[in-house]
């Protein structure tokens, strides 16, 4: 894996074994740092031509409502328009983060062009992504 972006709350790597991007979140991510990480993810997806990512939320905490709304209304429409098709989510230890993420994905919805799956183990998440086209 090669580190491509880092700020106080997130590291994003490119992993050619998936192939795709891997986000590793840490603690409370909100406001500008959270949005910068999502914008970097979008830019890197376009740069690498990848449609899938692994989002490791194990250490991430609650996402504030305003940021949930931004992810739903700004990030996801842009990402889907750019070809984002799948995310494997390693579930947070924080129940409030779990609720935040489920609320975001319920708004986005799943269909023939976008899939999200939840995992407890990184190896299982990677295997699921690797078998996707």
- Confidence at residue 111, expressed as pLDDT on a 0 to 100 scale: 67
Distance of CA 49 to the CA centre of its chain: 16
Whole-prediction pTM: 0.92
Q: What is the pLDDT of residues 12-29, one digit of tens each?
A: 999 999 999 999 999 989
Alpha helices in 73-132 (DSSP H): 76-81, 95-108, 122-131
- Confidence at residue 110, expressed as pLDDT on a 0 to 100 scale: 66
Domains along the sequence of the chain with CATH: 2-131 (3.30.750.24)
3-class SS at 123?
helix
Over the chain (133 residues), the average pLDDT of each successive run of 10 is: 96 96 94 96 96 97 95 94 95 94 85 89 96 91
Among candidate residues 48, 45, 59, the one with its CA nearest the CA of residue 8: 59
CA distances from 126 to 29, 34, 39, 61 (A): 23, 23, 23, 22
């Amino acid at each position: 894996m090669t580190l491509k972006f880092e700020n106080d709350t997130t590291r994003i790597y490119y992993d050619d074994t998936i192939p795709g991007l891997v986000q590793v979140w840490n603690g409370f991510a909100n406001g500008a740092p959270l949005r910068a990480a999502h914008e970097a993810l979008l830019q890197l997806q376009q740069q690498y031509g990848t449609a899938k990512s692994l989002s490791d939320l194990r250490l991430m905490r609650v996402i504030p409502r305003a940021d949930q709304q931004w992810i739903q209304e700004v990030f996801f429409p842009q990402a889907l328009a750019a070809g984002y098709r799948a995310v494997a989510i390693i579930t947070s230890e924080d129940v409030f983060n779990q609720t935040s993420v489920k609320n975001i994905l319920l708004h986005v919805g799943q269909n023939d062009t976008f899939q999200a799956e939840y995992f407890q183990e990184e190896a299982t998440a990677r295997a699921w992504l690797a078998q996707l086209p």
